[in-house]
Chains A and B, each alone.
Chain A
Amino acid sequence: MDLVVRNGRLVDPARKIDTVANIVIRGGKIQSIGVGAGSALPSNIPVFDATGLIVAPGFFDIHVHLREPGTEEAETIATGGSAAVAGGFTAVAAMPNTKPPNDNPSITYYIISEARRSSPARVFPIGAITKEQKGETLAEIGEMFEAGIVGISDDGKPVMDAQLFRRALEYARMFDMPVIQHCEDLHLSKDGVMHEGIYSTRLGLKGIPGAAEETMVSRDLILAEITGSKYHVAHLSTRRSLENLRKAKSRDLRVTAEVTPHHFALTDSAVADYDTNAKMNPPLRSADDVAAIVEGISDGTIDAIASDHAPHHINLKMLEFDRAPFGITGMETAVGLALTKLQLSITRLIELFSINPQKIMKVAPWGLFEGSDADLTVLDLNRTWTFDVNQSRSRSRNSPFHGWPMKGKAVGTIVGGKLVFQDRA
């Protein structure tokens, strides 16, 4: 695919680039980056005018649920991929809790081939840690690695057995893959449906204490230290988890963490009217936790922002709060929320959405350099817009951000030199 991206402000913190220039894309790869407006541009190639816009290495959402195979009424690889590029993501990492789960290479192959066929975004599968995600015995991690997984996780569930988790960390080291943990002590969180605090007590809902996450983060950090393996905390949500992570990082452990947009944009007060679109796991936390998360994003303790895009069919979200499933959609609102709610430099934003996610998942890097895959995200920092969930490209509608005004948006998404999404004012 050939394309010229003209006159954008190119920002790539990994290559220390911040300049206005043109990008010439040939055959899906970046052929040249011309510094200055005067460089000669090839004719007969389509042009994307990026004047006044930011052009960044393609954003990578390392935590999404595409629901295929198994729950296609909620999402498919095609619709999820379409929602991803509409949110500015050129790539996603798909969690393995499909039906059946991605715990063996045939599912991995299926996801990869279906993504090639139908998804405008690149899809990197994540494999299960344990067979059927039951937390009992290790899945065929090596075979899945050969098939193309970039990490392992039992996301949706934690690995409660410390011995088994230690083995997973040790075994994954053979492939230098991150082990991604959904941190939740299931005894502490038993039957919980929202953050344990004033709101849960007032609403009469069973709480999930912050300690359910924090105790497992602490345990895992110790296991990560003694194994020396790559450990990644999914959707970190509390102050104490963050502080423990900060300490571990100061001792140079190979540990990383992501946060979701809803954990910095909302608090547990959003549950007030039993809105099932405010039900997710980990739950929306207290205002103090949110303040800590925002701080952790700015000071670098947090490595990445990932959406935890978790589509559910409306039939399930229309149930009583106790019975409704956890999770919200998020790929189309993640960048907008980060730009609206966080005061970040553009380079920090790009680190969080692209550079660090690539490092965490140890994928072949892309960016603003000659020869790179031409995967680019184009941002308009000044665009004001309102999220309308009814216009979402996801197959599901479970978002608490419907009607939210935002400032800043991904207005162009280029994957392999192909303009797969654009939203020009």
Chain B
Amino acid sequence: MSLKLNYQLMKASEVNATLDRMASEILEANNGRPVVLIGIQRRGVPMARRMALRMAKKTQREPQIGTLDINLYRDDLTRVASQPVVQKTEVPPNIDDRDIVLVDDVLYTGRTVRAALDALCDFGRMRTIQLAVFIDRGHRELPIEANFIGKKITTKDSEVVEVKLTEIDGEDAIYVMEKI
């Protein structure tokens, strides 16, 4: 499968402004209670890190962060063509009764979030689990919705939303691609 560019959804300045707004929304919604940001591998990880820095600036208190690899919880392992590379999972100890914000780049079918919820539950019983996503592109297959959304867009099934982050991709941008 190859992709062609349909259009650019965000450029660098918009990416950062959006992350900034989401960080504020999370702080506001949690009303001063400290949260734990858990980024889903891979682009949720730098996202969570950046939001944590922004939140630290605002509150002088850096939230705890963690990373989660959901590949071990996927429901389609036997179906994917190439086996995913398992990345590190690092969840802070004692997250029982804490407020967790799961961070991911794109919310699509909801299956990744389902896997992440299963994974998190193996680490204890959290007070709340909230979801922050950069792009909600619709087409849900499970009853899952995000608490914090960078941008909600309408997409075709044949489209692919690519979030680029400097830490991984060398640039900040979001593109909507088309499968050809």
In the complex, A touching B, CB below 8 Å?
Answer: no
Task: List chain B positions with a Cβ less than 8 A from chain A.
Answer: none
